[in-house]
Structure 1
Amino acid sequence: MEKTPIDPSAIIVDVVQKNLETICKKVFGFSKDKVADYQIKTQNAYQGYLNRAVDKYGKVKTLIHKSIPINLYDFYVHTDLKCEDSIISTENINGILQVSNSSMVLGTGGTGKSTLFKHLFISALYTSDKIPIFLPLRNVNDSEQSLIDCMYETINSLGFTLEKKYFLESLDTGIYIFLFDGFDEVEDSKQQKLIKEIEVLMDKYHQNSFLVSSRESDSLSVGWDGFIEFKMLPLSKEKSIKLIEKLPYYDEEVKSRFLKTLDKSLYKKQKDFCSNPLLLTLMLLTFEEFAEIPDRM
């Protein structure tokens, strides 16, 4: 998956066509001729959204590339998850879906939860027959709308042109994977309401799949009864090295010296920092400035 091309137009057409008959049979009660017209309209709506969403979520700004987003797969290294005693690969989304259709992915700051969810969104197009819907939950902070209305507004802004009433009716088909990213970014005053809305959505439309990402917090102890918890694991030494190797960096000589230090002693000496993608990137920038890593982080 790490070499996934960022423009999966053919895959998007395939995924939409696999679900088109299910959507149209469930949603449209028109005559045969009118249904045919709406099949074309529906196909264009889903393909329009998925193409725009892949373009948006498949490019990421980093600490090193602050001005121009780069291809997610130019630097992405998948992070394994732990569920009780099991290690789950995130190379594609099926590793999670095989455990549960309702999952909570937890991790500390800088572990790459949002990057993981963007990868899972793209992965779903290649490895699942369902249609992925990505919603940054911070979007609810600036709105008094319901979660479903906020979701529709988000996908509509990315080219989904089908009327809202038809989208709402399609929820009962079970063709979706909902990726709700960043629950910890939701204002405290809105969190409990949002938990209830997600749980109602999950109960009412249980044939779909639901994934939520968040930092661990006290607010997660209430609700979420139907969700299986996955915890993001730190990067191994091998994955830390791979991340730096892949990361586009303008000074190859500095990167090469940092990689040697990381491999020889730094990972063992500062494992808590080197196993965190954000902090590891900061260490590379510090290394460039000071030509060494301070003993006291």
Structure 2
Amino acid sequence: MQDEFLTRTAITAASTVVVEPIKHIINTWVKPKLEEIKQKNQINEKLEEYAFQVFSEYLKRTYRDQNNINVIALGLQQVTLETTYIPLTIQSLEKKERITLDSYNEAFATKYKKIVIEDTAGMGKSTLMKKLFISAIQKNVGIPIFIELRHLTEQNDILDTILENINPLHGIHNKDFILEVIDRGDFIFLLDGYDEIPFQHKAQVTKHIKKFISKASNNIFFLTSRLDDSLYSFGEFQKFEINYLNEEEAFSLIKKYDSITQLDLAPLIIKQIKENINGESFSELDSFLGNPLLVSFLYLTFKHNRDIPSLKIDFYRKVYDALFELHDLSKDSFKREKYSGLSSAELEKILMKLGFLCLKENVNDYDKNKILKLISQAKKSAYLKDLSENLILKDLLETVPLLTTVGLGFKWAHKSFMEYFAAYFIDTQNNREEILNNISNSANLTIYINTLDFYYDIDRQVFDKIFVYPILKKFISFIKASGINPHTEKDKLQYLELLFNRLFVLDYDETSIGSIQMKTKDAEWEESKGILVEYYSKRTSDIRTYSLVKALTGSDMALYQFVKDNKVETILRLLAGKRNKLLKTLYQEYLFPQQGGDTHIYSWENLDIKNLSNEEILERNLNIINIFGSINGESNIHLYSIDYFEALKYKDLIEEEMSIRDDDLFTNL
């Protein structure tokens, strides 16, 4: 009866390529669970058949959705995932492990069970999750469930979303039954975009997610996010980051776009990139080539005007220009007219305010009423009062495709466009310094970091005044107060540079490690942090005012990095991405050393540097760098320190710039 039902209902509308893998998933993983539950008389035959149907329909529907992607560089042309996917390599600083994910890796997933992939904008996190979903079905390794976390609210928790995804039309609301199925294991939950959960819901949604993960602990969980302090709540997850694409991988992606457009641009693009590298005329080229999204933009901008921009901000400007002037890819002579009749500058002005409004809410998921209301606010002008918001929306979906549809809703084609336009909106405001100060003091600074990355290139002088200058003053005062001679005591200077704003705990004491592990065994992450702080506060009370940012633990070691002010680390990371000379990147030279049975605590507020020998200082420097330093140049999350002598020069530069006034420039016109 059941096999006959499966044969009759399994994905008849889909191609055979989709049908067969999904039938295998249903027969291998779903059917045994339902039979076990049925034997306990917990479901009848009708409910069993119904469950088969909804799981089959969910898998076929989601397979189709995740296997098709809209590529901005191709004017949001929809292509299959395989045509543009480049295998991404992820690595763990803690585990010293690197793995290339060309498909779902069952051994890797089973080893860690709970994996968070944290990285910056455009590194391919969502694309990777799509690949894992498709591959999990093709390889028949479990029941994949894809969840976009931006849909979660305080009222609509993760289980509600799962029910809605699995069964959007039939209206099954038996949470206990679904939980019973999930509790039996073999599910692969792909939780995408933790950073896109709206501010006002994040605390409660995080609580709901953690509660669900605890109840469904027999399953595999992948979680993706941009850098977000709230991720420390998921302490049981093993953190991985995505490595930059190497040059060969970037060129391969360019060739994939060429195979779709049939324009034969790849040889010309690659030739110009190599010439720019050799001529050192492209200051951000390495980071562009390492980022899959920016590689796609390289293709788009070159297609538009046969040019490769030199800065990220110019890059996005040219992408907007290319999209506004977009010609049909299959008909190069056909240019789409704008429904709204707006010029490029007029539409850009609306996009600036729209981007800021969306960024302020930290929302990238809108129903039609919401997006039209936001567009209405963004276009607020007596000159545009008769212009229909619907026409602007139609332009943003079709002729200048910066927005895209998702089901019945709408979202930015990529969140980085929202952040780009928001940065320009800030710059157009008379009170921009006040706005930036508010962002600087925000508890949600990490949410704004990509906008600030753009703003750095728009107005570096104002950026430095608000964000960099206060850090430099504090850093230079710290070095001078130590009493060292920075010109002759190089090792001590490096130690101070490493410790600024930081506290390190290197614990190799078996009794200490055992005690902490016992106390934190069943504790939530926030509770675990409290236990750690309380335990080590007996050695240094300073630790109570620090935040834990890195934890490398094992049976014979417990290694932690704390920071005094998270904002400082966030800004340093941004500056490092800009290749600012202020920052030095510290690379590991060998695996971190074992330290016998001792516990070491190094704090910038409790230095005692005058009583340390040169040998002790050198040993501490090596310990910090070889434990917490960067593994290699492919990673985009590093250990940075401020260069003292560069800081002196940069502080003088900022002060000189702050003293320059243009008041007389606008007189006697």
* TM score, norm. by length of structure 2: 0.40
Amino acid at match of 1:132: P
* Equivalent of residue 180 in structure 2, options 169, 173, 182: 169
1:213 aligns with 2:224: yes
In 1, Cα distance between the equivalents of 2:17 and 2:277? 37
Structure 2 partner of 1:284: 299
1:58 aligns with 2:72: no
Aligned 8 A contact 1:133 1:176 in 2: yes
CA gap 1:6/1:219 in 2 versus in 1, 3 angstroms: farther
**1:200-219: per-residue Cα shift (whole Å, max 9, x none)?**
22222211111110001222
1:45 aligns with 2:54: yes
Once the 2 structures are TM-superposed, how far is the Cα of residue 144 of structure 1 from its aligned partner? 1.8
CA gap 1:21/1:50 in 2 versus in 1, 3 angstroms: closer
CA gap 1:41/1:290 in 2 versus in 1, 3 angstroms: same
Tell me the secondary structure at the aligned position of residue 89 of structure 1: strand
Matches within 5 A, 1:1-297: 7-28=17-38, 34-35=44-45, 37-84=46-93, 85-94=96-105, 96-141=108-153, 144-157=155-168, 164-165=174-175, 166-221=177-232, 223-247=233-257, 248-250=259-261, 252-262=263-273, 265-266=276-277, 270-297=285-312
What are structure 1's unaligned runs of at least 5 residues? none
Higher relative CO (Cα under 8 Å, sequence separation at least 6) belongs to 1
Identity of matched residues, %: 25
Amino acid at match of 1:243: L
- Choose 116-125 or 240-249, whichever is displaced more: 240-249
CA gap 1:26/1:285 in 2 versus in 1, 3 angstroms: same
**1:35-94: per-residue Cα shift (whole Å, max 9, x none)?**
3x5443332221111000011111111113345421111111121101122111211222
In 1, Cα distance between the equivalents of 2:31 and 2:262? 52
Aligned 8 A contact 1:93 1:123 in 2: yes
**1:201-255: per-residue Cα shift (whole Å, max 9, x none)?**
222221111111000122223x101111010111111111111111255352333
Amino acid at match of 1:194: V
In 2, Cα distance between the equivalents of 1:213 and 1:160? 30
* TM score, norm. by length of structure 1: 0.87
Once the 2 structures are TM-superposed, how far is the Cα of residue 33 of structure 1 from its aligned partner? 11
In 2, Cα distance between the equivalents of 1:190 and 1:180? 16
Once the 2 structures are TM-superposed, how far is the Cα of residue 196 of structure 1 from its aligned partner? 1.9
In 2, Cα distance between the equivalents of 1:103 and 1:296? 33
Aligned 8 A contact 2:37 2:43 in 1: no
In 2, Cα distance between the equivalents of 1:160 and 1:293? 51
Once the 2 structures are TM-superposed, how far is the Cα of residue 265 of structure 1 from its aligned partner? 4.9
In 2, Cα distance between the equivalents of 1:32 and 1:189? 39
In 1, Cα distance between the equivalents of 2:170 and 2:126? 22
CA gap 1:111/1:33 in 2 versus in 1, 3 angstroms: closer
In 1, Cα distance between the equivalents of 2:159 and 2:138? 26
In 2, Cα distance between the equivalents of 1:200 and 1:26? 25
Aligned 8 A contact 1:81 1:232 in 2: yes
Once the 2 structures are TM-superposed, how far is the Cα of residue 295 of structure 1 from its aligned partner? 3.5
Aligned 8 A contact 1:49 1:160 in 2: no
In 2, Cα distance between the equivalents of 1:66 and 1:28? 50
Aligned 8 A contact 1:132 1:178 in 2: yes
In 2, Cα distance between the equivalents of 1:250 and 1:33? 52
Once the 2 structures are TM-superposed, how far is the Cα of residue 179 of structure 1 from its aligned partner? 0.6
- Choose 78-87 or 148-157, whichever is displaced more: 148-157
Aligned 8 A contact 1:48 1:160 in 2: no
Aligned 8 A contact 2:74 2:300 in 1: no
Tell me the secondary structure at the aligned position of residue 28 of structure 1: helix
Report the count of equivalent residues.
289
Amino acid at match of 2:180: E
In 1, Cα distance between the equivalents of 2:84 and 2:306? 23
Once the 2 structures are TM-superposed, how far is the Cα of residue 290 of structure 1 from its aligned partner? 3.2
Aligned 8 A contact 2:55 2:166 in 1: no
Tell me the secondary structure at the aligned position of residue 86 of structure 2: coil
